Amino acid sequence: MILPIVKYGHPALRQKGARVSAVTPEIRQFVEDLLETMYDREGIGLAAQQVARPLQVCVVDVRQVKERPSTLEVKGEAQDIAAFMPMTLINPELTPVGEPVSGPEGCLSFPEIYADVTRPSVVDVRALDLKGQIMEFRCGGLLARAIQHEWDHLQGILFIDRMDQENKEKIRPEYQALQAETKKELAAAKKAVVRAPSLRPA
Ligand code: ZN
C-alpha cells in the first residue's frame, strides 16, 4: 500500500522514533508499504517519520543511482551492494568513520528542494534486519549519505539542520513556503474534523 508522505511543517518529522522491540508481521507489512511508497516516488530512502509513524525503521535502495557509487564492507571485505538492496534498517546505530564530505541531497518530505550537506564519508552501521537479526557493516559513498540522512529522520533531525548557513540560506524561502503550506493544510484538516460532528442529525 502506498502511504501518504508528510512534508516539512508536519510535526511527525520532528518526533524521535520509538525503538522496535520485535519484528512482528505488522512491522514487516509496514516495511513493505514503506518500500512501495519509496519506489513510487523514486526515492532512494524513506523513514517511518515521513509517513507519520515515528518508529526506528527506515528503508534504503541506492541501486538506481549509477553515477554516485556506494561501497559496503562486512568484516573488511567488499560486498556486492545489490545483494543488500533493498535494505531495511531497524533500530540502527551509526558510528562515523570517514572524513566529512559535501554532496547534494534531496528529501521526499521537501519536494523539489536540493542543497549540499556535509557528512562523514564512511560510517559503521549496526541494525536489525527484517528477520530481526543483527547486521553490521561499513559503508561509503551514496549509501553512507543515504543511511545518515535516514538515521537523522529517525531522531527527528532534518537535512536542513545539517546544512551550513550559506547553503541553508539559499533554500530558506523554499522550505519556509513549504512549511507554511503544510501548516495551512493541517489547520484546514483539523477544522474539518471539528466541524464533522455538527453535520450529524441530532
Ligand atoms: Zn529525507
| Residue 194 or residue 38, greater confidence | 38
pLDDT for res 201: 61
For the stretch 29-74, pLDDT in tens is 999 999 999 999 999 999 999 999 999 999 999 998 889 999 999 9
What is the Å distance from ligand 1's center to 147 Cα?
10
For every residue of 127-167, which 3-state class applies, written as one string?
Answer: EECCCCCEEEEEEEHHHHHHHHHHHHHHHCCCHHHHCCHHH
Q: What integer is the mean pLDDT of 148-175?
A: 97
The answer to whether residue 176 scores a pLDDT higher than 90 is yes
What is the Å distance from ligand 1's center to 131 Cα?
25
CA atoms of 76 and 117, how far apart (whole Å): 27
> What is the residue-averaged pLDDT of the chain?
95
CA atoms of 8 and 26, how far apart (whole Å): 27
- 150 as an active site residue: the answer is yes
What's the grid cell of residue 82? 545489490
The answer to whether residue 197 scores a pLDDT higher than 70 is no
CA atoms of 20 and 16, how far apart (whole Å): 12
SS3 content of the chain, % helix, strand, coil (to 5): 40, 30, 30
For the stretch 71-120, pLDDT in tens is 999 999 999 999 999 999 999 999 999 899 999 999 999 999 999 999 99
Out of 36, 42, 136, 150, the active site residue is: 150
Contact between 130 and 78 (Cβ < 8 Å): no
What is the Å distance from ligand 1's center to 73 Cα?
24
